[in-house]
Chains A and B, each alone.
Chain A
Amino acid sequence: MPPLNLPPVKEVAKIPGDWVEERSGLVSVSKYFLFRNVPRDISWLQTLGSALITVFIVQVTTGILLAMYYKPSTEEAFDSIRYITDEATLGWLVRGMHKWGSSVMVILLFLHMGRTFLFGAYKYPRELTWISGALIFILVMAMSFTGYLLVFDQRAYWATVVGVNINGTAPILGPFLSEFLKVGPEFTTETLTRFYALHMLVLPAAITGLIVLHNWLVVRLGVTSPPWSKHRATKGDV
């Protein structure tokens, strides 16, 4: 019997990675992402964006769990919210995290935007990064608007009626927008299912796409260091 000519263990461990790398290049993409350089004075102020991704993941996870118990009809919505809050195991925690996660997300969005503004990080070459972020902000506000109705208690219902009516006051497009949101002139179960579909399918998909674009631009263009950074190649104005 000829001697077995096995490669050393260290080489064997690389085989799955090499297999994926050869077929997708994903290993080098990950390596590029993790081992790229960033300016040396990057610190806490630049953590708000990644914290937002974390909150988004919290919202998606708790949202999926809520969707397993929520019933989007005018007859059952309020009862399913009562069940989630009062009876389901840790339902109050999942709903509470989703509810307060949305507030935390809006606050972080404002802080993240403020940091970007202070650093002038929306200027060349990062204009598109800012625009994609601004669109995410607007869509997150739309998420909040569509999610608010789903609890289907008095405040949710009447605040949404008023909100839809406000949309309806816009010239030309307003009445169409208001009819589109309500699915006709009245609030019905179809209104609720429409809000639900926007809240858990359309808007999250759009936000996910914009987050991918936003972060691709961030990695490609690099994270800005503070404008007061002393670590410069040149003196004087730039």
Chain B
Amino acid sequence: MPRYTARERRERYLREYDFQKRTGKQFFPYAIYHDAIMSVIVVGVIIAMAVFWRMDFGAVPTDASAAREGGLLGPAYESRADPAIEGYDPKPEWYFFFLFELLKIFKTPELLIVGSVIIPTLMMMALIALPFIDRRPERRVSRRPVAMAVGVAVPIVLLALTWRGDQGAGIAGEASNRPGATAFAQTLGCGTCHKLADAGTAGNVGPVLDDALPDYAEAVQVITNGRGAMPAFEDIGEDQINCIAGYVATWSGGEGETPGPNAASAEQAYPAACEAAGGEYAGEAGASAAGVPSRGGSAQAAG
């Protein structure tokens, strides 16, 4: 098929470009004025975004750890970072949503690495190596059907993942009044990532607990030390950990008043640990006494 060798094609391209350049226009001022106008527009957009962001700011909060609310473009800042966890919200910047969505697709512990490492690494390698993957010298759009198909498909997939990554499915229903349910769904924000029917949560980042069915020992281990993308929650306290682990082991896979298959493993700790932890961990009485916990009211600083 090739009428020319690769070397001839390269030489032809250089000759062609040399002609275009020789008979072209001077960069200054005939090309640079487009650049200057574009730069002014872009800086204008950045300033406009900052101004629109500022216009929706709420009042400066009196509490030194509280969030300053915002409007469409988001808050000025959320509440102070707190490793002891209230209102856990691991949402990344929007341009990482596509990676965040990959985590949701490959959420089981065995497949996690596909979404967290393998696909992103392959994407980076393909990006860098593109000139060596597509070695054909042809530049005309109509003669590069494969490249154009890939060039259309990749942005569509990225946009779809970005859009889906933005769709949080944290809280879908009411938490039951069982000890630990409110703490699981709201105080700690476990439901941001985990689906657990009894707690009324539908998070889709981490494993579905109604399917994973962890027993008590495993739940304590994972909550204390974290696993994969999940952070370690050891700072919340031992009774609190035992309460949540007991709740998860008992009610994962539970239906109505029937506990899940691993309930027996938690008998020792649950619900005694929740009574010991108190507050919203204790269930009906504690939850109504504490009210609905406000997001991030804690003054405790990290470190």
A and B pair up: yes
Q: Which residues of A contact B (CB under 8 A)?
A: 33-40, 42-44, 46-48, 50-51, 54-55, 58, 73-75, 78-79, 81-82, 85-86, 92-93, 95-97, 99-104, 106, 108, 110, 114, 117-120, 122-127, 130-131, 134-135, 137-138, 141, 144-145, 148, 151-159, 161-163, 165-166, 169-171, 174, 187-189, 222-225, 227-229, 231-234, 237-238
Cβ contacts B132-160/A at 8 Å (1 or 0 each): 10111111110110010001000100000
Interface of B with A (CB < 8 Å)?
Answer: 3, 9-10, 12-17, 19-28, 31-32, 34-35, 37-39, 41-43, 45-47, 49-51, 53-54, 57, 60, 64-65, 67-68, 76-83, 86-96, 99, 103, 112-113, 116-117, 124, 127-128, 130-132, 134-141, 143-144, 147, 151, 155, 226, 228-231, 295-296, 301-303
For B103, the chain A residues whose CB sits under 8 A away are: 166
In chain A, what residue has the closest Cβ to B103?
A166
- A170–B113 touching, CB < 8 Å: yes
Query: Of B38, B92, B231, which contacts A48 at CB under 8 A?
Result: B38
Asked if A165 and B228 sit within 8 Å, CB to CB, the answer is yes
- Compute how far the CA of A165 lies from the CA of B89 in the bound complex, rounded to whole angstroms: 15
A165 near B131 with CB under 8 A, answer no
- Specify which chain B residues have a CB less than 8 angstroms from the CB of A38 in the assembled complex: 21, 24-27, 31
Give complex CA distance A159, B93 in Å: 9
In the bound complex, what is the Cα–Cα distance between A43 and B30 (angstroms)? 9
Measured CB to CB, the closest approach of chain A to B133, in angstroms, equals: 10
A169 CA / B114 CA spacing, docked (Å): 10
Residues A101 and B151 in contact in the complex (CB < 8 Å), given A153-B80, A169-B112? no
Task: Indicate if the CB atoms of A96 and B54 lie closer than 8 Å.
Answer: yes
Q: Contacts of A103 on B, CB cut-off 8 Å?
A: 49, 93-95
| Docked-complex contact A93 and B301, CB < 8 angstroms | no
Beta-carbon contact of A44 and B34 below 8 Å: yes
A92-B54 contact in complex given A154-B82, A154-B296, A157-B81, C-beta closer than 8 Å: yes
Please tell me if the beta carbons of A158 and B88 are within 8 angstroms of each other in the complex.
yes
- Give 16 pairs: A residue, B residue, CB < 8 Å, sorted on A: A36-B26, A37-B24, A82-B77, A85-B68, A95-B50, A106-B95, A114-B155, A118-B151, A119-B139, A123-B135, A141-B95, A166-B99, A169-B112, A170-B116, A189-B303, A238-B139
User: Which B residues are in CB contact (< 8 Å) with A165?
Assistant: 226, 228-231
A114 to B95, CA, bound (A): 16
Complex: A174 Cα to B23 Cα, angstroms? 53
* A/B pair count, beta carbons within 8 Å: 281
- CB <8 Å contact, A228 and B141: yes
Q: Which of chain B's residues have a CB closer than 8 A to the CB of A100? A: 46, 49-50, 53
Q: Are B39 and A51 in contact (CB under 8 A)?
A: yes
> Given A44, A130, A227, which contacts B141 in the complex, CB threshold below 8 Å?
A227
